[in-house]
Amino acid sequence: MLDTNRLDYMIPEREDGNYTLKDKVIIKITNQYNDFISELYKLSPEEIVNRANEKTIKEEIIYYLQAIDYSPKQYEAMLKDEDLLSELYFEWTSSNEDFYEILEAPIDKYINLLQERNRINRSKDDIVR
């Protein structure tokens, strides 16, 4: 049975076996993530719910690292870190970035769009009456 919580599809496949440093980092953190998921399965439902945010952020970290390019020296440093994904997650949790600021722009944009739709619909209703 396919485990949809695992991110095996993120692991790059190279027929020639020549993996780039970026590939190796993605493989490393994807395997760390999959180990994390395996550990979650051993927890109670309550503990799993309590760690849902960690699961989501770790996924986003992998997607981010997949999308961004770093220097070879940076990739080499990442490869030397024993528990890179957990360390990146810890850095995120200890940062001073306000999570609500990250959410604010897209949420406000959508709410403004809804407000504009309602205004247009009210105008149409007024014309029909």
Residue scoring higher pLDDT (10 or 66)? 66
- Which tokens in the block code for residue 101? 């600021």
Q: Is the pLDDT of residue 106 over 90?
A: no
Termini Cα distance of the chain: 58
Q: Which amino acid is at 127?
A: I
Contact in structure between 13 and 69 (CB atoms under 8 Å): no
Q: How far, in Å, CA of 13 to CA of 36, rounded?
A: 22
Question: pLDDT tens digits for 24-82?
Answer: 999 999 999 999 999 999 999 999 999 999 999 999 899 999 999 999 999 999 999 99
- How large is the average pLDDT for residues 70-95? 92
- The position carrying tokens 């049975």 is 1
- How large is the average pLDDT for residues 12-27? 84
Q: How far, in Å, CA of 17 to CA of 50, rounded?
A: 39
Q: How far, in Å, CA of 121 to CA of 113, rounded?
A: 12
Q: How far, in Å, CA of 82 to CA of 26, rounded?
A: 14
> Which of 86, 77, 81 has the alpha carbon at shortest distance from 57?
86
